[in-house]
Amino acid sequence: MLLADVVAASAAVAANRSRTAKAQAIAAALRAAAAGEVPGEVGPVAAWLAGELPQGRVGVGWRTLAKAAPAAAAAPSLTVAAVDAALTGLAGTAGSGSAARREALLAELLAAATDDEQRFLVRLVGGELRQGALEGVVLDAVAAAAGVPAPVVRRAMMLAGRLDETAALALGGGQDALSTVGLRVGRPVRPMLASPGSSLDAALADLGAEVTVEHKLDGARIQVHRDGDEVRVWTRTLREVTGGVPELVERVRALPCRTAVLDGETLALDDDGRPRAFQDTMSRFGSDGADASDEAAVLLSPFLFDVLHLDGRDLLDEPLAVRLDALAGLLAGAEHAPLRMPGVRRPTPEQAAAVLDEALTAGHEGVVVKALDSPYAAGRRGRAWQKVKPVHTLDLVVLGAEWGYGRRTGTLSNIWLGARDPDGGEPVMVGKTFKGMTDELLDWQTRTFPAHARAEHSWGVELEPGLVVEIALDGAQRSTRYPGGVALRFARVLRYRPDKTAGQADDLEAVRALLAGG
């Protein structure tokens, strides 16, 4: 199969607003890959059309991508297999002189690509392939292309943990092949996610009395597997971090079990037991993060809230109530009790409110309300788990906007956000966002922003500091990327504020006040 066919499918996906139409376009590409003469192309095609690389990180950043800009090929010739092999070569390049070798490999790949293929590859490798086809759409397409029920595909994906492998199994062997995928200690499972709840009362009304209400921490999601003395730890994205978190390994190795698969969160605490800044926790998970043996490293505390396997028994299909009983038994000893995520089962509304107050008073984000009859299901945010936390809002100045990709091509989409300088200078940039925008708002921005432009560029516009927008966000974190030393977390647009001037926007100190642990 030619790369050009995948690029054409990507363009068709980006041009369609309908989820069904997107899935149909991807399914057609997957069938073509499966019908080709070269084996092994289904997996890469599925991953690429979800904007992912099967190889994960390939060691190429935007600076390298910007350098590698050879003249494009006149006609398409690259095959899926050849591109996948080249990306595998990039990912495997390490050691002395590896940067130069990566640049050469990347230049060779791009030189064989047409203009459209080059743009596709640069955005794919750079993690910027926004075409409106997230993992869920691709899984629907896999199900359609293979002729198997979507729940079967999603379950196999949850247990296999890899989109490319799941697609290859589905197209190669159908439902029989997918049904062979089971939970295996040592292979991470896709985590179950919580949907946002509008309020604690609304979540309780939705899920009823048979719930548990637990603290929602501002930490890092972890999944821990134990097989005898071997303990391995993965992050939310299924990146293994075992070597960097020895204190977590030690705590799980001390538990009274032989095999286990545990779900939870971890975070750094200060001497008073309050959460430290979010980035103190995340510093332990970066590629250049601190090792626990470093004097300056912060120690991580684990908080477990689920168990998917225990001593030979798979539990993920059991109701949450059964899983919590198993977890409680595992952590019954006083020495293991601190590992349990705080919470209350079957609380009264007053007790649930007390749990929320307790979490917020302790410096945490809020609570998660979980239905006790729910099995462990990954792949989409269902209503069985609902997270409830206060929503922060800020009025910020729009400093610029970038042209959109995919369905947003032709509109000014990704806006630059600035906080007022309390000392009276120019607004200070604290983040960007393209979330929360309706089609009408995108059209309004595209019509309005040029009249406020300070400078125009190929990527978008810089604006005079006059327009104020109300932003919802989950908090702030320290950042070296922006001049104020702080960045917004999960910012999304609520509305513009024509009633406010830039001088009435929130200032940098208001943003800094949202720093976790600050």
Catalytic site residues? 216
The CA distance from 130 to 414, in Å, is: 12
Quote the tokens at residue 288. 């250049």
User: How big is the chain by its Cα radius of gyration, in Å?
Assistant: 24
The CA distance from 76 to 4, in Å, is: 6
3-class secondary structure, 195: strand
Quote the tokens at residue 338. 């601190």
Strand pairing category for 366-371 and 211-216: antiparallel
> C-alpha distances in angstroms, 369 versus 376, 389, 444?
14, 11, 38
Q: Taking Cα atoms as reference points, which of 193, 140, 143, 137 lies closest to residue 382? A: 193
The CA distance from 308 to 324, in Å, is: 10
Quote the tokens at residue 434. 């393209």
The CA distance from 72 to 96, in Å, is: 30
Bridge partners of residue 463, in order along the sequence: 453
The CA distance from 147 to 155, in Å, is: 15
Sole residue written with tokens 């299909």: 317
Sole residue written with tokens 């607003």: 17
The CA distance from 128 to 11, in Å, is: 14
3-class secondary structure, 404: coil
**Secondary structure of 428-460 in HEC code, one letter for each residue:** EEEEEECCCCCHHHHHHHHHHHHHHEEEECCCE
Pure H helices in 362-501: 439-448
Sole residue written with tokens 């995108």: 442
Element spanning 111, H or E: helix 98-111
Give φ, ψ of 42 to 5 degrees. -60, -45
Which residues, in sequence order, are CB contacts of 138 under 8 Å at separation 6+? 23, 26, 46, 49, 50, 163, 167
How many Cβ atoms from other residues are within 10 Å of residue 421's Cβ? Answer: 16
The CA distance from 182 to 99, in Å, is: 39
